[in-house]
């Protein structure tokens, strides 16, 4: 059976169901609902959709899905007629208002049934896994958008709020919406509650170096002695570094400083048009490699711990591979958090990357320009639309509520631009062609890259519910790094997602993490085998990392009495001015 072009197919689904009259018919004329899914070729507005679906789903499967839907829809209608309360089972409809109003309960139940049917159709399309994932993603976006909770006319919670406040909630909601339209984004938190350098990103330290790409911060020691080996932290350039230094009680920076480490942080510049021609090589050479060089000169140490988070980990590992090709091994250890080096499994982000989309980006940006931070933020919000879009539409606009103050969401809204050439190289050579994992397949800074040439023990961290870097993909780096001494490598799996799993303060004792001590039988070769032998521990994974740093940190020495040295003098207090620049 020939499968239609996946992008055209997904577009057909989107265009058919973008028409609100289709859903309005299901919501306002429930007695006609079974007829809304007619045999293929009927005159109903859904006929064109089902005809396209029929081209990609085996007829027997399509008929089975249709019969199952009609049976459930008929039962739902019968239950409604006799006044039986439907089971909703979705947190969007957990408030009592949905159950108190029979029409609202039926509306929600109808929506959930229709959503289930549409997603089942998407999952049944005969296509490659990647194409089917794209179709499902497009359908899921539309399904989430059309929830009755997202519209005032079908949201009983918003309607009740309107009556209780005598119209003030609606007026406030319109004010919130107009304010967000001026910002060009949905407000997730009370942004007036935070200021970088005042109550987020405020760990004590000094900027001791800067160039056109980054400032280097050296943090003030918190202990009389420190480990001889310093720690260099390289955050993602796609976000601001202060995710690692939020408020004192949840600052990873503060934690590792208090564990007796001399800590340095790369604070990437938020690119403007003057950096529009910056390349991946620049981020590696002028960024990570230069930072390693300065840290070694300031501390007088031959080696440094090198830490990378997300894209920062990809940059850090690339930089160390470049230095290895030049005959240098400056890392005492390598710590990579939620980092991809093998891009075989990129999770849901895979729907945004194919030859056509990458080529379009290259045509527009490869020779210069900026990838706007706002576009990147929109992309990431689309990965979790119910949490990061529609929840705030309901709360901020329909109910007129003010979002609460939340430091992590303040950081999430503080987006950064990316230089076009750097972004295009990254998309093609990693996400699209997955060259970084292959020794010598890609050249960076004039030398072939071989991640296996990095000679240092490795600490890898993944988050169990990470939708950006699946934990199994983070584990795949175990086979790429430090092959000569693989037993020295360590993998730790934390609970929760890409950010919340990482920012899990040891002092709060929340969540859990998993480790596999191998039992002397050798390291498991697959993520599944690793998990099968892993043990869960309550609390934060941070102490596991602190122990790893201490084991590879050398002797205890007196803490530095002042930041920098004669050549690299402090220029301004942390967090510096680069991190305060907002994206255009």
Sheet containing 214-219, strands listed edge to edge, beginning at the edge strand earlier in sequence:
535-538, 512-515, 490-494, 458-463, 331-337, 304-309, 231-234, 263-268, 214-219, 205-210, 572-573
CA of 361: how far to CAs of 175, 357, 425, in Å? 36, 6, 10
CA of 187: how far to CAs of 110, 201, 396, 446, in Å? 30, 21, 8, 44
Q: What's the pLDDT band for 184 if we cut at 50, 70, 90?
A: confident
Residue 442: pLDDT over 60: yes
Beta-strand pair 225-227/512-515: unpaired
Give per-residue pLDDT as tens, 205-247: 999 999 999 999 999 999 999 999 999 999 999 999 999 999 9
What pLDDT sits at residue 522? 67
Quote the CA–CA distance of 565 and 75 in Å, as a whole number. 77
What integer is the mean pLDDT of 105-118? 94
What pLDDT sits at residue 584? 65
Residues 148 and 229 in one domain: no
Quote the CA–CA distance of 573 and 207 in Å, as a whole number. 6
Q: What's the pLDDT band for 336 if we cut at 50, 70, 90?
A: very high
Beta-strand pair 331-337/304-309: parallel
Question: Would residue 160 count as lying in a domain?
Answer: no
Question: Which of 135, 86, 82, 129 is CA-nearest to residue 107?
Answer: 86
Question: Would residue 394 count as lying in a domain?
Answer: no
What integer is the mean pLDDT of 192-213? 97
Residues 131 and 27 in one domain: yes
Residues 574 and 455 in one domain: yes
What is the percentage of the chain residues whose pLDDT exceeds 70? 90
What pLDDT sits at residue 561? 95
Question: Would residue 547 count as lying in a domain?
Answer: yes
Give per-residue pLDDT as tens, 150-173: 999 999 999 999 999 999 999 999
Residue 189: pLDDT over 70: yes
What pLDDT sits at residue 519? 52
What pLDDT sits at residue 138? 86
Place of tokens 């950096």: 275
Quote the CA–CA distance of 31 and 77 in Å, as a whole number. 7
427 in Cβ contact with 361 (< 8 Å): yes
What pLDDT sits at residue 33? 30
Question: Would residue 257 count as lying in a domain?
Answer: yes
What integer is the mean pLDDT of 92-105? 95
Average pLDDT, the chain: 89
Residue 334: pLDDT over 50: yes
**Minimum mean pLDDT among 35-39, 59-63, 72-76, 341-345: which range?**
35-39
Residue 1: pLDDT over 50: no
- The two most distant CA atoms of the chain are separated, in Å, by 84
Q: What's the pLDDT band for 458 if we cut at 50, 70, 90?
A: very high
Residues 468 and 529 in one domain: yes
What pLDDT sits at residue 68? 94
Give per-residue pLDDT as tens, 44-85: 333 344 444 445 788 899 899 999 999 999 999 999 999 999
Residue 117: pLDDT over 90: yes
Residue 43: pLDDT over 50: no
Quote the CA–CA distance of 41 and 327 in Å, as a whole number. 68
Question: Which of 200, 310, 236 is CA-nearest to residue 580?
Answer: 200
Quote the CA–CA distance of 481 and 490 in Å, as a whole number. 11
What pLDDT sits at residue 244? 98
Residue 262 lies in domain: 205-372+417-580
Give per-residue pLDDT as tens, 466-504: 999 999 999 999 999 998 888 889 999 999 999 999 999
237, 310, 424, 445: the active-site residue: 310
What CATH code is carried by the domain that includes residue 231?
3.40.50.1820
Give per-residue pLDDT as tens, 352-367: 888 999 999 999 999 9
Residues 222 and 82 in one domain: no
DSSP per residue over 174-225, as a string?
HHHHHHHHHHTS---S-GGG--BTTTBS--SEEEEEE-SSEEEEEEPPSSSE
Give per-residue pLDDT as tens, 402-438: 999 999 999 999 999 999 999 999 999 999 999 999 9
Q: What's the pLDDT band for 20 if we cut at 50, 70, 90?
A: very low
Give per-residue pLDDT as tens, 506-525: 988 899 999 998 754 567 88
Structure token digits, residue 96: 């009592």
Residues 144 and 283 in one domain: no
Place of tokens 């940006």: 365
What pLDDT sits at residue 518? 75
Residue 269: pLDDT over 90: yes
Question: Would residue 197 count as lying in a domain?
Answer: no
Question: Would residue 198 count as lying in a domain?
Answer: no
51 in Cβ contact with 38 (< 8 Å): no
Residues 27 and 101 in one domain: yes
Helix intervals (H) in 219-289: 252-258, 280-282
Question: Would residue 380 count as lying in a domain?
Answer: no
What pLDDT sits at residue 347? 86
Residues 133 and 235 in one domain: no
Which span out of 1-10, 25-34, 299-308, 345-354 was modeled with the highest average pLDDT? 299-308
455 in Cβ contact with 486 (< 8 Å): no
What pLDDT sits at residue 134? 85
Quote the CA–CA distance of 503 and 266 in Å, as a whole number. 18
Q: 535 pairs with which residues across the strands? A: 515
Residue 12: pLDDT over 90: no
Domain termination residue (choose one: 155, 179, 195): 155
Residue 17: pLDDT over 80: no
Residues 270 and 366 in one domain: yes
Catalytic residue flag (residue 310): yes
Residues 317 and 463 in one domain: yes
Residues 236 and 116 in one domain: no
Number of domains in the chain: 2
Helix (H, G, I), strand (E, B) or coil at 261: coil
Q: What's the pLDDT band for 579 if we cut at 50, 70, 90?
A: very high
Residues 89 and 209 in one domain: no
Question: Would residue 251 count as lying in a domain?
Answer: yes
Q: Tally Cβ neighbours within 10 Å of residue 421.
A: 21
């Amino acid at each position: 059976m020939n499968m239609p072009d996946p992008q055209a197919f997904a577009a057909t689904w989107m265009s058919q169901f973008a028409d609100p009259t289709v859903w309005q018919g299901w919501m306002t004329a429930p007695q006609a609902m079974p007829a809304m899914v007619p045999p293929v070729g009927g005159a109903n507005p859904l006929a064109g959709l089902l005809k396209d679906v029929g081209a990609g789903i085996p007829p027997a499967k399509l008929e089975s899905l249709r019969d199952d839907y009609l049976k459930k829809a008929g039962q739902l209608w019968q239950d409604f007629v006799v006044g039986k309360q439907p089971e909703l089972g979705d947190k969007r409809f957990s408030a009592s208002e949905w159950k108190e109003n029979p029409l609202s309960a039926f509306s929600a139940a109808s929506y959930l049934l229709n959503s289930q049917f549409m997603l089942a159709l998407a999952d049944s399309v005969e296509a490659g896994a990647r194409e089917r994932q794209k179709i499902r993603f497009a359908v899921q976006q539309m399904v989430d958008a059309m929830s009755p909770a997202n519209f005032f006319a079908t949201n009983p919670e918003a309607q009740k709020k309107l009556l209780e406040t005598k119209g003030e909630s609606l007026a406030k909601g319109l004010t919130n919406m107009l304010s967000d339209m001026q910002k060009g984004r949905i407000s997730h938190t009370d942004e007036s509650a935070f200021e970088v350098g005042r109550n987020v990103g405020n760990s004590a330290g000094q900027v001791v170096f800067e160039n056109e790409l980054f400032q280097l911060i050296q943090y003030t020691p918190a202990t009389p002695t420190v480990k001889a080996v310093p720690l260099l932290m390289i955050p993602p350039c796609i976000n601001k570094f202060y995710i690692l230094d939020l408020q004192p009680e949840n600052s990873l920076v503060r934690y590792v400083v208090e564990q007796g480490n001399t800590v340095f942080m790369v604070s990437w510049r938020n690119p403007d048009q003057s950096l529009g021609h910056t390349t991946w090589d620049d981020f590696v050479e002028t960024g990570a490699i230069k930072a390693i060089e300065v840290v070694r000169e300031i501390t007088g140490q031959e080696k440094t711990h090198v830490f990378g988070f997300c894209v920062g980990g990809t940059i850090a590992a690339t930089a160390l591979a470049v230095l290895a090709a030049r005959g240098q091994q400056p890392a005492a250890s390598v710590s990579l958090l939620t980092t991809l080096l093998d891009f075989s499994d990129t999770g849901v982000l895979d729907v945004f990357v194919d030859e056509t989309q990458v080529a379009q980006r290259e045509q527009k940006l490869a020779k210069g320009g900026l990838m706007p931070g706002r576009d990147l933020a929109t992309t990431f919000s689309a990965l979790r639309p119910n949490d990061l879009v529609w929840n705030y539409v309901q709360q901020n606009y329909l109910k007129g509520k003010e979002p609460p103050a939340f430091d992590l969401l303040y950081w999430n809204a503080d987006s950064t631009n990316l230089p076009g050439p750097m972004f295009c190289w990254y998309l093609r050579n990693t996400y699209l062609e997955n060259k970084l994992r292959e020794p010598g397949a890609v050249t960076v800074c004039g030398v072939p890259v071989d991640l296996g040439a990095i000679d240092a023990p490795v600490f890898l961290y993944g988050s169990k519910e990470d939708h950006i870097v699946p934990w199994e993909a983070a584990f795949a780096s175990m086979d790429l790094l430090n092959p000569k001494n693989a037993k020295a490598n360590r993998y730790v799996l934390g609970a929760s997602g890409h950010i919340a799993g990482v920012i899990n303060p040891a002092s709060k004792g929340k969540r859990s993490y998993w480790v596999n001590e191998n039992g002397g039988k050798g390291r498991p070769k697959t993520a599944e085998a690793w998990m099968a032998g892993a043990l869960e521990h309550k609390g934060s994974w941070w102490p596991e990392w602190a122990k790893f740093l201490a084991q590879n940190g050398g002797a205890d020495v007196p803490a530095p009495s002042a930041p920098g040295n004669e050549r690299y003098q402090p220029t301004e207090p942390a967090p510096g001015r680069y991190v305060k620049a907002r994206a255009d």
